[in-house]
Amino acid sequence: MEEEESRAITSQSDWAETTMFLVQMYYTPVLVCLGTLGNCLSVYVFFYTKMRRASSSWYLAALVISDTGFLVAVFIVWLNMVGIGIFNRQGYCQFFVYLSTLCSFLSVWFVVSFTIERFIAVLYPLRRQSLCTVAKAKMVILGLTGIGIILCSPVLWFTSPRPMNGKPNITACQLVTERENLASAFNVADTVLTFVLPFAIIVILNGLISRAVWRLANVRRTLTTNGQRDSRCGNIGMSQAKVTKMLLVVSTVFLCFNLPAYVMRVRAFLEVHQDDPRSTVLAQHIANILFDTNFGINFVLYCASGQNFRKAVVRLILRRPRRWHSGTRVSNHVSDVRRSSSKITRQRTIVYEVPWNEGCEMRAMESTTNRALSQ
């Protein structure tokens, strides 16, 4: 009886492992192709439309670029499954391990960066104009990239093409035995820098941002109820709320898809063993699939949660070809005059702007006070 139960468990485990192998075999190239295509389209939208004027767009563009680099590394590793052993060659092994490590580091800290920026924009609106600028976003992106290039460089010495145990005729990209202690220390530091610290920052700031957004939504409701809401307050507030919603969705999905992989890594550090090691292998496969998926779904997240992004994509797809006449483009003189006039007007007009959330709150407080006095 016990032998039959053991065989049943073994057959179920083998079936699960075979299923996960097939998923990785066919799912990975689809994820890489569609994810890379979506990321390239996202970069175009962020850099070549009006969205480039927003600092948050630069963080999101940097995120999809780093995610694309990670997908390239995943694809090179996947080629081993179809008999193309580029990853197992000298130089390629070290480079693509380094590329995946660097891109993973940059992705998490780009998420942290735009989370911090959104925190400043929502809770400290008076500083938004000076701190949340495109120039500062570029500086942060370049700074993080430089730091990541330096901090991730040790992995170049941790791996090398070596004969597999029991299969001396097969060479695979593996950890160098003499540097296992250094690699373990690096993994601990990497876990702290790419999991513990950034995840704590994202969770805390997202909680504070969500509370502030909920409070401001109540303020807008009060203004609407009292008939005091003006178009400027509503338009600016809605614009900021849309950006905040998209960034909250991106950072939350990032946490959910990355958490299982890091939990498995922490479990490996703690050397916690289960009675059935096959279940651990299966859980590791699932965690890796979720982790890889996170790098290929940015375009879907942006379209699902960002109204401005969706509009930019639709305009890009439905863009009509420009009309030409005798080799010269036909221009609309009236629209050109209007654009020039509006530009001159903006240059000569001084606007004293009250931050959107504080301005709305002031109107709500005035409305409430007036009602109390009238009673």
State the burial class of residue 69 (Cβ atoms within 10 Å of its Cβ: 0-12, 13-18, 19+): buried
Cα–Cα distance for residue pair 160/182, rounded to 1 Å: 15
Contact between 119 and 243 (Cβ < 8 Å): no
Contact between 111 and 63 (Cβ < 8 Å): yes
State the burial class of residue 235 (Cβ atoms within 10 Å of its Cβ: 0-12, 13-18, 19+): exposed
pLDDT at 72: 96
Which one-letter amino acid corresponds to residue 125? P
Contact between 32 and 291 (Cβ < 8 Å): no
Nearest residue to 56 (alpha-carbon basis) of 243, 288, 213, 311: 243
Cα–Cα distance for residue pair 363/120, rounded to 1 Å: 22
pLDDT at 231: 52
pLDDT at 348: 35
pLDDT at 7: 52
> Torsions phi, psi of 332, nearest 5?
-95, 105
Tokens read off for 336:
């050109």
> What dihedral angle (degrees, nearest 10) is formed by the CA atoms of 99, 290, 307, 364?
-110
Contact between 76 and 86 (Cβ < 8 Å): yes
pLDDT at 272: 52
pLDDT at 219: 73
Cα–Cα distance for residue pair 304/319, rounded to 1 Å: 21
Which one-letter amino acid corresponds to residue 214? W
Distances (CA, A) of 25 to 17, 67, 93, 291: 12, 20, 20, 16
Cα–Cα distance for residue pair 106/124, rounded to 1 Å: 26
pLDDT at 372: 37
Nearest residue to 308 (alpha-carbon basis) of 137, 116, 53, 65: 53
Which ranges in the chain belong to alpha helices (H)? 2-48, 55-78, 92-123, 128-131, 134-151, 180-191, 197-226, 231-270, 277-294, 298-305, 307-317, 333-348, 356-374
Contact between 329 and 321 (Cβ < 8 Å): no
Cα–Cα distance for residue pair 145/160, rounded to 1 Å: 25
Nearest residue to 73 (alpha-carbon basis) of 128, 32, 16: 32
Which one-letter amino acid corresponds to residue 279? S
Report strand pairing: 167-175 vs 328-329.
unpaired
Cα–Cα distance for residue pair 366/352, rounded to 1 Å: 20
Contact between 65 and 90 (Cβ < 8 Å): no
Tokens read off for 180:
């296992």
List, in sequence order, every residue forming a beta bridge with 128; answer none if it has no partner.
none
Which one-letter amino acid corresponds to residue 113? S
pLDDT at 106: 96
State the burial class of residue 131 (Cβ atoms within 10 Å of its Cβ: 0-12, 13-18, 19+): middle
Per-residue confidence in pLDDT tens, the chain, 375 aa: 445 545 544 555 567 778 888 888 899 999 999 999 999 999 999 998 888 888 989 999 999 999 999 999 999 999 988 888 899 999 999 999 999 999 999 999 999 998 999 899 888 888 888 888 999 999 999 999 999 999 999 999 999 988 877 677 778 898 888 888 898 899 889 999 998 999 999 999 988 888 888 887 777 677 666 655 555 555 556 556 667 777 888 888 988 999 999 888 888 777 655 555 777 778 888 899 999 999 999 899 988 888 888 888 888 888 755 444 444 444 444 444 444 444 433 333 333 333 334 444 444 434 433 443 344
Enter the pTM of the model: 0.77
pLDDT at 311: 87
